[in-house]
Structure 1
Amino acid sequence: MRNGEVHGNNSKIKSGQLSVIDIDQNIFLKKKTFPVNELYGQDEGEEMGRNNHIKDVKIYKKMYEESIQNPELFWGNIAQSSLRWFKLFTKVYVGNFKKGNVSWFTNGKINACDNCVDRWVEKDPHKTAIIWEKDTPNDYKKISYQKLLEKICKIANLLKLYGVKKQDTVTIYLPMIPELVYSMLACARIGAIHNVVFAGYSAGSLCDRIIDSRSTILITCDFGLRGGKLTKLKHIADGAMDMCGMVKTCIVFKNKTKRGDIGNSKNHLYYYSRSIDSQANPDVPPDGGSGEDAHGSIHHNDRNNRTFECMGDAHPDYLDRIHRNDYVDGENDNGNSDRSRGVHTLNKIISKTNTAARKGGTIIGEGENCSRKKIEREEGKNGDCFNERQIYFPTKGDSNLQKSFTPPCRSTTSQERNNTFYCEVENGKSNFDESICTLKEGRDVDGSALMKNMRSYCPVEYMDSEDFLCILYTSGSTGKPKGVAHTTAGYLLYAYTTCKYIFDVTDKDIFGCVADIGWVTGHSYVLYGPLLNGITTVLFSSIPTYPDCGRYWNLIETHKVTQFYTAPTALRALMKHGDNFIEKYDLSSCRILGSVGEPINPETWRWYYNVVGKKKCVIVDTYWQTETGGIVIAPIPNLFKIKPGCATLPFFGIELEILDSKTLEPMKGSNVCGLLCIKSPWPGMLRTVYGNHKRLVGTYFSMCPNYYFTGDGAYRDEDGYYWISGRIDDTLNVSGHRLGAAEIEHALVQHVCIAEAAVVSFRHSVKGEGILCFVVKKKGGFKNYGEKSDSADGCDANGNIVNGTLVHQPSNVNDAVKSTHNYSDDKLLEELRLYVRQVIGPIATPDIICIVPDLPKTRSGKIIRRILRCIANGMDDFGDITTVSNYEVIDVIKSKFKESKEKRYPTSYSYEKRMQEKGDRTAHRSVN
């Protein structure tokens, strides 16, 4: 069915009811991505002996049937036995999907922080709650449940000091540092609603979320560090606050991640590092030249042949723990330590000036007396050195850089031991690096400094079961992100239960979900799910390829991770680099390997199972959404055979239905595909779209009356297993993150020379779905962007609209237009990519932008995105095109898209052709 059309033979479908469903019912089968007729795992009737909670399939089936037939009894029993209540609920759930007015555990009183932290402190205060793995490998910090509670209470008291009350919204814009967890649970402790915004979003996106959530308090920090790349978060936050004008108080924490990959991991002495050259500089050590100036700036080449600039930085919180004996020079340890990291070493101190001491205390060596800094030395059990990195000292300092640098520490001392001088930094006053972060008087406060004076205990608020716990913004087809609101008791119970059963967790497990907490996966399976089960969770601050493609596997080996949870996008990126990185590490601690964010393609599934899991780990491919609160389809470990790429079976309490996309009637039996819906309420489901309940009903409950409509298509095979085919509306799923096509389109048409835009997804071998933008330039002399326009509705050579008004014109675009009269299409495309990146964030950067003369439209002027999706994914069957008013443009768009894709990915079409000649049906899944 196409937009706005009504089938005359079905009186149940009202005009416009399926306005976001623009599909052919059989479009999913045409993709030929499923089913895969392979089975992994033992037979259904066999007892595995490995599942810690469900003994066999019979028990599972009994539990599932009870959860569907008697949900009050099923969920009521789990809620009473698994959560701590101040007042027990009187009714398990009330309401239905008709008006979206569902409530769970009514009249109960509970607190999320109490359930995640307090009750485990009472049981075992010294148990590790969080392992914070920083951006640098093997640099981590363990935080006990006791220490976690103290930090939470301090921030809770700080929030109360600035007037935060029960059910106020606090926006949190932080990277993956402990303060993020502390802040979220502090909000939960005092009854505030936390609104976490992913720390990769732009100022504009942050501003939108502050306004929509009606937040007057913002928590951020000076910078983020991810994959060696520094992001000035406070600078971005300043831009957002200036735009929205709502924030009365901004609490700024100092990121205690030591900025770079140099230093003493035991004592957390690290250094700022930024890449300055993508290739090795022959004048920089170790290949040649000198590196360090008087204020601690070092130039060096890393193992990946990139040139970095580093700046020394040590934070006072760690300095009082530093002792001379902790520093061991790799050459003098005689192989007595498994790992040694050194500091500045000089055979002879040449000079030490007061200026140098004030500017960071760097000791300056000259000529042949210049020695080296031992960066890292790793040794085997026999003392063999298998990894060593070095940085060399310079011949002289740079006075200009020295004058511009204000470090957090003031002076140095030295001590001779084993004929080597060891520099030790004395405790000094710490301030924010003004080049990265400034505080605005009257609005911004130094959270790190204020924390020291806060009490380490704060009483918990008694929260009603249906009080809001959090808001998570997710993209929608209307362009404006939706504030998905989750309430306290139901969300907690569902996060607890899904984590327990789907990942088969036990008390001693180390849970390694590497998602960012800015997304729902991080909320449910980095923070709430593991902590509600009282286990240890990993807070991962880096990326899978930093400093190399063994980072994930090093994480598992180092921390003995038992459950590992990541996205297919990351796995596909690592697959391309071969198996050598995996073979270096011992992954035997891992029992469960999870996949999240998008359907995992069979090739990646097999690699995950055979190479990473060594055929000994269960793969749990999980399907769920921000709106569902937790996993809704996944295999229970060790109970069923699993098919590569298949989500398998619904979780407890989830009753699935596949509806015919034309009639909206349930499709019974096997081998059917259609619209994926959920038939009845479950505890973790969203309660509303924050501030706009009508949007909740219109988006999720009106399209398919009496059902929750997921917005995805699905296929049910002969075994009753479910295969997810992807979004059927205008929402994109890029690297496991949902983005609104309308939001990207809106950004594109703000450009001075773009008239129309349509955004769809295409299959991407790494990201799952890539972002494809079709754009139409404004009429009148735009063959070369920037040339003078002969038309009244174009723009002139200065980028000014003729006889029109531009609502928002980015300065960088205007400046670029002014710079040349021969502004090519290539330059225009680059500007468009940059602008989308700036307006929405890097995650929304288009993969392909295709300039076309027009877009396929109905006679009423509506863009037919169904045709564009077919073109993007290599399908020639467009269905009924009788309503297309300009059908001649279809062939032109196909040709333009092929050219654009070939230009962007030069080998894609030749590769696809070879695959088709071989008769390989999976070619489309392998082509960018």
Structure 2
Amino acid sequence: MSEKQVTLSKKTYLPDPHYRKEAWCKDAEHAYQGYLTDPDGFWARISHELEWFEPWQKVKEWKHPFARWFINGKCNISYNCLDRHSAGSRRNKVALFWQGDDGTTRSYTYWQLLREVERFANGLKSLGVAKGDCVCIYMPNVPEQVIAMLACARIGAVHSVVFAGFGSDALHARITGAGAKVVITADASIRRGKTIPLKPILEEALIDATTVNYIVVLRTQNPKVSLLPEFEMDFYELMDSVGKKCPPENMDSEDPLFILYTSGTTGQPKGIIHTTGGYMVGTYYTCKYVLDIKDSDVYWCTADPGWITGHSYIVYGPLLMGATIFITEGTPDYPDPGVWWSYIEQFGISIMYTAPTAIRMFMRYGNEYPDKYNLESLRLLGSVGEPLNPEAFEWFYHTIGKGKLPVVDTWWQTETGMHMITTMIGEPMKPGFAGKPIPGVLVDIVDKAGNPVPPGISGQLIIKEPWPSMMRMVNQNEERYRTYWSGPDNSFGASDLAVRDEDGYIMILGRSDDLIIVSGHNIGTAEVESALVSHKAVAEAAVVGIPDEMKGNRILAFVLLREGQIETPKLKQDLIYHVRITLGPIAIPSEIRVVDSLPKTRSGKIMRRVLRAVELGEDPGDLSTIEE
């Protein structure tokens, strides 16, 4: 990796002062200095806002690369998500609103959700599931998926959630890799009005999966799918066959909570292990102080629990806060591109946390659909999953936020478990910049020798100190875990390139392995893609490096045009010129191809290796994570 100068925009939006006045964190800079002065004291204060069955004795123990947090503390995250609210004023507060693909709605109060979780937890226990056993959850985005996750946590079972869009090979690898004892699934998922059978996929995935003893099936279709006696159980029949009360398991802070496999875009999927106490504190803290969740909010994270965003910011973090959460099985443009905005109006959603991929998709349709609906209930917008390019920020801020709402662009990873970098509420917002490290997080941007780079120079993003919700291990692969903590001065290498401005704001440029070396210059794919998307005709873009005899590599660009735009030779020339003006001649694509879609993972990340492999006539490798 060589460093280079990056031209940074100085455009800034100043939020209305009342947002900072009303926020949980009213002065991020003061809070950050407090963290630097006493890191352990900072996290101790956060942890005391949650309930512990037995108090921890020490905040952390750090023996590189292994950490223990809230040592010897005993707790249960399901108890903190449900029982402590049900016993108080939130007993009859709605915990969860759900909207099905077909328009069906359901809701659960905290007391009702607790009762469902207890019954299903007892059902799992009746199947022989005990503390430390692994349960695989392969379900669509329905309330029963949340119930299953919390039930596992309640009895100390380690859950491994697999996104319902995965095929049988990917599912098999995750079931066997985690050694799942029980698999929970549904007969089908509903997508764009069509029924997609899940049980046949699971049946194929179970071939040679010797650890699995039982299958639990949520049956939603008529006629009901048949079950194999003594091996397959109906979800609700299992709940009806057991008692209603299930006391929470006494969990050590460092007991495993879940295994979650990464999407595998840059290699084989890794089973990331998170533990109970530190993850609980980290997700609670960021939901409170970054997403600013209040008792009056209806909160919507548009992700799926099959990804870390869903774990941390659909299920655990918001419920730890006592929030009312909204989830939906539907897609953002079915039955039309206005459906998401109709949900905001119908349910009075006040916090929307979504992905740049979705924002750019809506940009293609313009303002027509959001302008049809009353979005006045919104008070906070959030972004997650990939860098929020300036053009997407502008559309989100002006069209959805009406030029007044805070936009919280968050950088973090499956491995971090919680937000690490963002613009806290009340701070000036800079399009294209995620923001600063949040209080509790210490990061730097360094060159290949490990030296901090000055503002305006790109480098490798590293995390310098441990944090509570950090991953504890890669399942069955300690060596792979150790590589994460092999950065300069034993830091955590995030594998992302970044640049910082004079005010300390950080812009994520893209993965360090998403580089194209052209004539000896490192060109970040994210930079070229952002330049293309900044053109008024382009909705999305992906660039790859293709071997070139003279330059080493040349840049090949694939673009999706906005609705109403037409491919012409003149437009392609305009795009090339636009990149030249934006980034300079070294970053000009040698060719631009207009396409109808781009290969993406189900978490919305573009799979550039697939584009490159197809172009070169090579094997594209594992496609199990691809959306279409």
Give the alignment's TM-score, normalised by structure 1: 0.58
Q: Does 1:226 align with 2:226?
A: no
Q: Deviations over 1:654-709 (max 9, x none)?
A: 11111102x12222x422220000110111111111121221002x1124341011
Distance 1:63 1:567, change over 3 A: same
Instruction: Name the structure 2 match of 1:37.
Output: 10
Q: Do the aligned residues in 2 keep the contact of 1:477 with 1:731 (CA within 8 Å)? A: no
Contact kept in structure 2, 1:671 and 1:715, CA below 8 Å: yes
The residue that corresponds to 2:624 in the other structure is: none
Give the corresponding residue for 2:135.
170
Aligned ranges for residues 761-776 of structure 1 at < 5 Å? Answer: 763=529, 770=542
Q: Tell me the distance in 1 between the aligned counterparts of 2:54 and 2:202.
A: 40
Q: 1:529 Cα deviation (Å)?
A: 1.1
Give the RMSD, CA atoms, in angstroms: 2.8
Letter in 1 for 2:370: I
| Residues 1:577 and 2:338 aligned together | no
Map residues 838-917 of structure 1 onto 2, 5 A cutoff. Answer: 869-871=544-546, 888=549, 907=567, 910-917=570-577
1:372-420 per-residue CA deviation (whole Å, 9 max, x = no partner) reads: xxxxxxxxxxxxxxxxxxxxxxxxxxxxxxxxxxx54xxxxxxxxxxxx
Does residue 87 in structure 1 map to residue 54 in structure 2?
yes
The alignment partner of 2:461 has SS state of strand
Residue equivalent to 1:802: none
SS of alignment partner, residue 458 of structure 2? strand
Partner of 1:608: 396
**Which one of the candidate residues 206, 213, 216 is aligned to 2:181?**
216
What's the secondary structure of 1:242's corresponding residue? coil
* Structure 1 residue 130 corresponds to structure 2 residue 96: yes
- Secondary structure, aligned partner of 1:726: strand
Unaligned runs of 5+ residues in structure 1 are 1-22, 257-406, 409-430, 433-437, 733-759, 773-868, 872-885
> What's the CA shift string for 1:705-755, capped at 9, x where partnerless?
4101101000001111000001112699xxxxxxxxxxxxxxxxxxxxxxx
- Residues 557 and 704 of structure 1: is their aligned pair in 2 closer, same or farther, counting only changes over 3 Å? same
- Matched to 1:685, the amino acid is M
Correspondence for 1:689: 474
Shift of residue 625 of structure 1? Answer: 0.4
Q: Give matches, 1:414-425, under 5 Å.
A: none
Runs of 5+ consecutive residues of structure 2 not aligned to the other structure: 517-524, 595-628
TM-score by length of 2: 0.85
Tell me how far apart the structure 2 counterparts of residues 152 and 631 of structure 1 sit (CA, whole Å).
27
Retained in 2: the 8 A contact 1:51–1:504? no
State the match for 1:317 in structure 2.
Answer: none
Structure 2 distance, partners of 1:727, 1:609, is 26
- Structure 2 residue identity aligned to 1:445: M
Structure 1 residue 588: Cα displacement = 0.6
Q: Please state if 1:459 is matched with 2:247.
A: yes
For residue 729 of structure 1, give the secondary structure of its aligned residue in structure 2. coil
> Which residue of structure 1 lines up, in the alignment, with residue 291 of structure 2?
503
Q: Aligned equivalents of 1:627 and 1:643: distance in 2?
A: 26
- Give the secondary-structure state (helix, strand or coil) at the position aligned to 1:200: coil
Over 3 Å counting, the alpha-carbon distance change for 1:553 and 1:152 in structure 2 is same
- Relative to structure 1, the CA distance from residue 593 to residue 887 in structure 2 (aligned partners, 3 Å threshold; closer, same or farther) is closer
Report SS of the residue matched to 2:87: helix
1:68 to 19, 26, 36: 36
Deviation at 1:65, TM superposition (A): 1.3
Distance of 2:206 and 2:248 partners within structure 1: 30
Change (3 A) 1:545 1:477: closer
Distance in 2, Cα, partners of 1:497 & 1:615? 27
- Tell me the distance in 1 between the aligned counterparts of 2:569 and 2:433: 28
1:105-153 per-residue CA deviation (whole Å, 9 max, x = no partner) reads 000000010000011110132110000111134x321111111111111
Q: Letter of the aligned partner of 2:367 in structure 1?
A: D
Counterpart CA distance in 1 for 2:141 and 2:548 is 49
Q: Secondary structure at the match of 1:608?
A: helix
Alignment of structure 1 residues 182-261 onto 2, 5 Å:
182-255=147-220
- % identical aligned pairs: 38
Inter-CA distance 497–908: structure 2 relative to 1 (3 Å threshold): farther
Mapped partners of 2:566, 2:393: distance in 1: 27
Give the drift of 1:179: 0.8
User: Are 2:438 and 1:654 aligned?
Assistant: no
Kindly name which structure, 1 or 2, has the bigger radius of gyration based on alpha carbons: 1
Pairing 1:727–2:516 present: no
1:517 aligns to 2:482 (yes or no): no
Secondary structure of 1:723 counterpart:
strand
DSSP-derived class of the 2:98 partner:
strand
C-alpha displacement of 1:242 = 1.4
Match of 1:921 in 2: 582
1:25 matched to 2:16: no
| Matched residue SS, 1:130 | strand
Q: Which residue of 2 aligns with 1:558?
A: 346
Contact residue 364 and residue 539 of structure 2 kept, 8 A: no
- Secondary structure of the residue aligned to 2:111 is helix
- For 2:501, the aligned partner's letter is D
**CA drift at 1:915:** 3.5
1:51-74 deviation per Cα after TM superposition (whole angstroms, max 9, x unaligned): 33233x3xx322111212311101
Structure 1 residue 555 displacement after superposition = 1.0
Pair 1:103 & 2:76 matched = no
Counterpart residue identity of residue 336, structure 2: D
Q: Distance in 1 between matches of 2:131 and 2:468?
A: 22
Query: Does 1:617 find its partner at 2:405?
Result: yes
1:298-326: CA deviation from partner (whole Å, max 9, x where unpaired): xxxxxxxxxxxxxxxxxxxxxxxxxxxxx
Query: Alignment length, in residue pairs?
Result: 569
Counterparts of 1:234 and 1:472, CA distance in 2 = 21
Specify whether residues 176 and 908 from structure 1 end up closer, same or farther in structure 2 by C-alpha distance, changes over 3 A only: farther
Partner of 2:464: 679
Q: Secondary structure at the match of 2:337?
A: coil
Aligned to 1:151: 116
**1:736-885 alignment, distance < 5 Å:** 763=529, 770=542, 869-871=544-546
